Amino acid sequence: MKFRYWKLPSYKTTIPMPIIEVVLSPPSGGETFRYPCLVDSGAEYCYFHAKGIGRDLLKLVIEDGEAMDIKGIAGISLEGYLHKIHYKLGGWDFEAEVCFVPELKAPFGILGRAGFFDFFKVQFEHRKEIIELKDYQGKKKQ
């Protein structure tokens, strides 16, 4: 699967970013929705917005998840809560433990090593502004 980078506004210009959309739906059923996420090889887990995504759309009780301390590149510490969810990407269905972060400041979710990179071989072609994913699991598309 190949995805084109998104172009986001930056200081005086736009910057291409490896952002892809995953499809989420509440565990108890309901309408699916697309959620843009940055593919980030430096992130330990997948990090999603606790309120708008976790609480409001997935209907999770965020604080019922396992609490964890997250440290970012700037050394800032945030609290997050692990929950197992299902997501779809390119016709494949995955179950992964992701961290819902109440104070996530990014305008998109983050797809990190646990819960994303362990499912895919990821190739960034920055000059072409393309990210290519190949399935590690040998799953068949649904």
Whether residue 39 is contained in a domain is answered as yes
Cβ 23 vs Cβ 32: under 8 Å:
yes
Whether residue 113 is contained in a domain is answered as yes
Q: Is the pLDDT of residue 91 over 60?
A: yes
Whether residue 40 is contained in a domain is answered as yes
Cβ 68 vs Cβ 82: under 8 Å:
yes
Name the domain count of the chain.
Answer: 1
The 3-state secondary structure of the chain reads: CEEECEEEEECCEEEEECEEEEEECCCCCCCCEEEEEEECCCCCECEEEHHHHHHHHCCCCHHHCEEEEEECCCCCEEEEEEEEEEEEECCEEEEEEEEEECCCCCCCEEECCECCCCCEEEEEECCCCEEEEEECCCCCCC
Q: What was the pLDDT predicted at 20? A: 95
Whether residue 89 is contained in a domain is answered as yes
Q: What was the pLDDT predicted at 61? A: 95
The model's pLDDT over 20-74, given as tens digits with 9 standing for 90+, comes to 999 998 888 888 899 999 999 999 999 999 999 999 999 999 999 999 998 776 6
Q: What was the pLDDT predicted at 140? A: 45
Whether residue 131 is contained in a domain is answered as no
Q: What was the pLDDT predicted at 71? A: 79
Q: What was the pLDDT predicted at 73? A: 67
Q: Is the pLDDT of residue 85 over 60?
A: yes
How many C-beta atoms surround the C-beta of residue 61 within 10 A?
10
Q: What was the pLDDT predicted at 137? A: 63
Q: What was the pLDDT predicted at 139? A: 53
Domain range for 109 is 26-119
Q: What residues contact residue 66 under an 8 Å CB cut-off, 6+ apart?
A: 81, 82
Q: What was the pLDDT predicted at 142? A: 44
Q: What was the pLDDT predicted at 10? A: 82
The model's pLDDT over 94-142, given as tens digits with 9 standing for 90+, comes to 889 999 999 988 899 999 999 999 888 999 999 999 999 987 765 544 4
Q: At 45, which CATH number?
A: 2.40.70.10
**pTM of this structure:** 0.89
Q: Between 75 and 101, name the one with better pLDDT.
A: 101
Whether residue 76 is contained in a domain is answered as yes
Whether residue 56 is contained in a domain is answered as yes
56 phi, psi to nearest 5 deg: -75, -45
Nearest C-alpha neighbor of 1 from the set 113, 88, 98: 88
Q: With 0-12 CB in 10 A as exposed, 13-18 as middle and 19+ as buried, what is 141? A: exposed
Whether residue 18 is contained in a domain is answered as no
